[in-house]
Structure 1
Amino acid sequence: MRHLSRRAQRRKGIGSAEPSSRDRWLITYADLITLLLIFFVMMYAMSTLDASKYEGVTESLQLSFKSGNSILEQGSGLTGTADQEDVTKEPTQEQEGNPQGEDTTESQPLTERELAFRAQEQELQGLMSVITQYVTDNELQDQIFVADKPQGISITLSDQFVFDTGRADLKPASAPVLSKLASLFRDIGTTVSIEGHTDNMPIKYASNYKDNWELSGERALSILRYFLEHEKLTADGFQYAGYADTRPVGDNTSGQGRQSNRRVELIVLRQLQEE
């Protein structure tokens, strides 16, 4: 009976402990809640930034990175920048000669071809200035037009100033102007392109030319022959072509537009002649 009572007592003790073991998770849960509360309190405290302390830490880090030794860069400073020259140092002799910090590569000597192009450009601008002044002095603004185009200096002669309608024979009044141009072309050192142009009106049956292609080409050729035969210029400095009505500068539906299209252009080309 005593043995049974002890067993009964043990059973009773075990049975009485079961309710307490079921509530032990509350202890762990409470600890977790406490830790989370501490974590959020710390996060809130860290979120308040002290500007003065932040600047002090930043300066300290910058000095550290500049004063340490860099293993990767094999130089002084953690970033390899401490051994660079101080911007407060006095300028060297080269810097004194270039106070504005300009690119010194432009001072390198130019090639012979670059020098030749520069010299030719100066010559072309001088040519344009002389012709423009000549046109102004002789009041030829309505007959001769000078322009600086990408391909070169363009000198446009109105067909009324140089030719009769439907003809390619030079008018005597155009001789002084052509002689003046010839004197400027004599030593220009580049190619002069003589180009004839017409409007879109068909050639009349009384004309000596088949169509506008032939007329525009013959007009350009007449000016070329004047330079070669009367002014004795060398042929290798010229080229000529007739474009008929394919390159208009005005509206062919109006009389004024057709008049502007009937022209001869002398273009002093931007190019160096091959030696």
Structure 2
Amino acid sequence: MRRRSRNRKKSQAPENHERWLITYADLITLLMIFFVILYSMSRIDVQKYEILSQSLQLEFLKSDTVLEMGSGITGGLQTAQQPKPAATPQKVKEPDEGKLKEQQKQMMEQELQELLKIVQTYITQNHLETKVYVADTPEGINIRLSDQFLFDLGKADLKQNAIPVLGKLASLFEKLDNIISIEGHTDNLQIQTGGAFQDNWGLSAGRSLSVLRYFVDIADIDPKKFKIAGYADTRPIVPNTSNENRQKNRRVEITVLRNLG
């Protein structure tokens, strides 16, 4: 029996202690394959890299950026491409107020002198020397109209003979920016009872109002250009000592004012 057991032990194959090499070899092979795959994935496509590099560079160097002066994200724009800073606007000199007023005054004076010449020529051509008088006064161009030419005695209704003269004046006044004063004057004789007016104050005021209404209602001139007054017999140009003098004091004066300020 002992002999058989010994023979069995001898007939069994010897135990292999190097089997781990197989596993180790397989592991090494797998690692090699893994690194080969990594290597193949890590290879760079040079052409694609160049395209990507140029695209990024252009984007970073664009001037339409939130940064001031548009120098791009990297600030790599050339100086010639950078927008020039806006030039500081030069302060416009304001015209001298004194000179401006002086120029306006000169222009106004030229208009007044032209008005004077036109009225003088009109009076001469129409033989109105005894009915219309014009003069250059410190206040302005004064046009004096006789009451015999404008109204009947003691009345304030305009005569038809006065309409052409007032129409000529209206054509000149509408071109001016000056204020125009209309003043009514009478002599010192009392108004007869039973008439339209109680006294010379009412008569002088009514006559100046009739002239104003012609300019405003008939000639359609801006009413803001006018001012009127009635002075009765308080401002005579000659003493009321004769019929001739009283006739001179009964008048309507139209003055184109100089508007001196």
Task: Normalising by structure 2, report the TM-score.
Answer: 0.62
Residue 125, structure 1, aligned to residue 129, structure 2: no
In 2, the alpha carbon distance for the partners of 1:119 and 1:135 equals 25
Q: Which amino acid aligns with 2:258?
A: R
Amino acid paired to 2:169: L
Amino acid at match of 2:228: Y
Structure 2 counterpart of 1:200: 188
Between the aligned residues of both structures, percent identity stands at 50
1:237 aligns with 2:228: no
> 1:188, CA displacement in angstroms?
0.9
Following superposition, the deviation at residue 167 of structure 1 comes to: 0.1
Shift, 1:110, TM fit:
5.7
Secondary structure of 2:145's counterpart equals: strand
More deviation in 264-273 or 120-129? Answer: 264-273
Q: Deviations over 1:247-273 (max 9, x none)?
A: 001121111110000000000001169
Cα distance, 1:206 vs structure 2: 2.8
What SS is found at the alignment partner of 1:196? strand
> Residues 74-117 of structure 1, C-alpha deviation per residue, up to 9 Å, x if partnerless?
xxxxxxxxxxxxxxxxxxxxxxxxxxxxxxxxxx9962111111
Task: Map Cα deviations across residues 46-65 of structure 1 (whole Å, 9 max, x no partner).
Answer: xxxxxxxxxxxxxxxxxxxx
The aligned runs of 1:85-234 (5 Å cut-off) are 111-234=99-222
Measure the CA separation in 1 of the matches of 2:173 and 2:194: 36
- What TM-score comes out, normalization by structure 1 length? 0.59
**1:159-191, CA deviations, whole angstroms, 9 ceiling, x for partnerless residues?**
000000000000011000000000000011110
Q: Which residue is equivalent to 1:263? A: 251
Aligned pair count reads: 166
Question: Segments of 4+ in structure 1 off by > 2 A?
Answer: none
Secondary structure of residue in 2 paired with 1:111: helix
Tell me, in whole angstroms, the C-alpha distance in 1 between the residues paired with 2:139 and 2:158. 26
Instruction: Please list every run of 5 or more consecutive structure 2 residues that lacks an aligned counterpart in the other structure.
Output: 1-95
2:97 & 2:235 partners in 1: Cα distance?
A: 42
For 2:220 and 2:252, how far apart are their aligned partners in 1?
21
Structure 1: unaligned runs, 5 residues or longer: 1-107
SS of residue matched to 1:119? helix
- Structure possessing the higher radius of gyration over alpha carbons: 2
